[in-house]
Amino acid sequence: MKGKVEAIIGTQWGDEGKGRVVDAVASRVDVVVRYQGGANAGHTVMAEGETYIFHLLPSGMLYPGKTCVIGNGVVVDPQQLIEEFEGLQEKGKDRARLVVSGNAHVVMPYHKVLDGMEERFRGMGHRIGTTRRGIGPCYMDKVSRRGIRMEDLLEPDILREKLTFNLEYSNLLLTRIYEESPLSFGDIYDKALAWGKKLAPYIGDGPLVIHRALEAGETVLLEGAQGTLLDVDHGTYPFVTSSNAVGGGGCTGSGVGPVWISRMTGVTKAYCTRVGAGPFPTEAKGEAGDRLRERGGEYGATTGRPRRCGWLDLVALKHSVRVNGLTGIALTKLDVLSGEKILPVCVAYSHEGQREENFRGGYSFLENVKPVYHEFPGWDADISLCNTWEALPEEARKYVSFIEEETGVPVVFIGVGAKRDQMIRRGL
């Protein structure tokens, strides 16, 4: 294979700034692939004086001559995809070629309704705080082998048969378990046919497109959504999403062989945030958390919910380094920390009086740990115009160097602001 594959993934609970990092490297790659998740993601790219939030489209869409693939591992809400794509078309910014894998699964209207019902059923004690985009129920149908795939939208008879079966089952859940009204077949079928007509020119063979690019010597970038701590296997289960956000998910979710991935970059915010329920050992409640939220604009790009904010957690980050095999860290939003007098960084947990340096995703463990902090002096200077390592205040350099020493992974990119050029490149 002449080409190469690299991946950009989230190391925390999502919202690390992956869209911005993907955008920063998209100009030097040929193909950008989303490989898991769905419209629960919200990847923000600030370019050409405008802010773009991509929920389903890969973050390379603004670059002419690129190919953007929605991989088989993604669950696609066709209505959302059409709106997002048409929004770009109206502005003349649909510059890349779009390919939607025929074997990606379709998020149907009943998945979204069931997502809400499931949360209601769970009640306060077990609620996950999902984005209600139908993600969990769609993946449930996928692994239960009754799901509907994008290619089915192009075949009216197959669609009719599959939808009849799937909707019958979903309506039983709605009526018998959740005591709600059933959804009507006709409405959904008509909508689905219309989606198929609109998206037909883009539905194709994702893995084949990627392989052809690799054979031609091109570079393929796998764009993760959510983050490692939301991964269904390696995250803080059950407070996770329903897919594999780790780099390994990039293989199954796109059809790329594991040994082809030569670079795995983990996007890490200089502090931590989380949306939705679940344990968060370094959460800063009160004033410090509020300051980070306001300065960092920490409100969900998909749901608008205020994000819970806290300090950098190196125990969790080292876990991410291991389960992803990170070759580099892209540190984002370092500028948000300017003005903090003291910067606590979690270097271990205290669990039942014992020092614990290894992360365990299990709820009973994480709910009962206390962070052990190493405190760094902060800096006052505005660093948002720094574009070299040397230009950063010494305190900021020490903060970044400590991350490198503790994780053993080089920091290859530092984000100092949301705009395209507000970054320090160190090898990415």
Which residues lie near ligand IMP (CB under 6 A)? 13-15, 40-42, 128-131, 133, 135-136, 225-226, 230, 239, 241-242, 275-276
Here the tokens at position 416 are 């100092």
What is the Cα–Cα distance from 47 to 342, expressed in whole angstroms? Answer: 33
DSSP code per residue over 384-413? TT--STTTS-HHHHHHHHHHHHHH---EEE
H or E stretch covering 274: strand 272-274
Closest to ligand IMP by CB, 303 or 387: 303
Here the tokens at position 69 are 């693939």
State the nearest-atom distance from the C-beta of 268 to ligand IMP, in Å. 14
Closest to ligand IMP by CB, 242 or 254: 242
State the nearest-atom distance from the C-beta of 269 to ligand IMP, in Å. 11
Closest to ligand IMP by CB, 297 or 339: 297
State the nearest-atom distance from the C-beta of 15 to ligand IMP, in Å. 5
What is the Cα–Cα distance from 408 to 217, expressed in whole angstroms? Answer: 31
Q: What are phi and psi of 413, to 5 degrees?
A: -160, 135
Given the residues 23, 30, 43, 313, the one annotated as active site: 43
Question: Which DSSP letter does residue 175 get?
Answer: I
Contact assessment for residue 255 and residue 210, using Cβ atoms and an 8 Å cutoff: yes
Closest to ligand IMP by CB, 56 or 159: 56
Question: Which DSSP letter does residue 184 get?
Answer: P
The closest alpha carbon to 206, from 76, 39, 65, 41, belongs to: 76
Residue type, 41: A
**Measured at the alpha carbon of residue 55, what is the angle toward residues 252 and 257, in degrees to the nearest 5?**
15
Q: Measured at CB, which residue is nearest to ligand IMP? A: 276
Closest to ligand IMP by CB, 13 or 359: 13
State the nearest-atom distance from the C-beta of 324 to ligand IMP, in Å. 17
What is the total residue count of the chain?
428
Question: Which DSSP letter does residue 283 get?
Answer: B
15 catalytic per annotation: yes
Residue type, 51: T
H or E stretch covering 215: helix 206-215
State the nearest-atom distance from the C-beta of 139 to ligand IMP, in Å. 9
**3-class state of residue 34 by DSSP:** strand
CB burial of 2-19 (b: ≥16 within 10 Å; e: otherwise) equals ebbbbbbbbbbbbbbbbb
Contact assessment for residue 395 and residue 345, using Cβ atoms and an 8 Å cutoff: no
Contact assessment for residue 230 and residue 245, using Cβ atoms and an 8 Å cutoff: yes
H or E stretch covering 203: strand 203-204
**3-class state of residue 383 by DSSP:** coil
Closest to ligand IMP by CB, 37 or 328: 37
State the nearest-atom distance from the C-beta of 254 to ligand IMP, in Å. 18
State the nearest-atom distance from the C-beta of 123 to ligand IMP, in Å. 16
State the nearest-atom distance from the C-beta of 278 to ligand IMP, in Å. 6
Closest to ligand IMP by CB, 135 or 336: 135
Closest to ligand IMP by CB, 19 or 78: 19
211 catalytic per annotation: no
Query: Which active-site residues does the annotation give?
Result: 15, 43
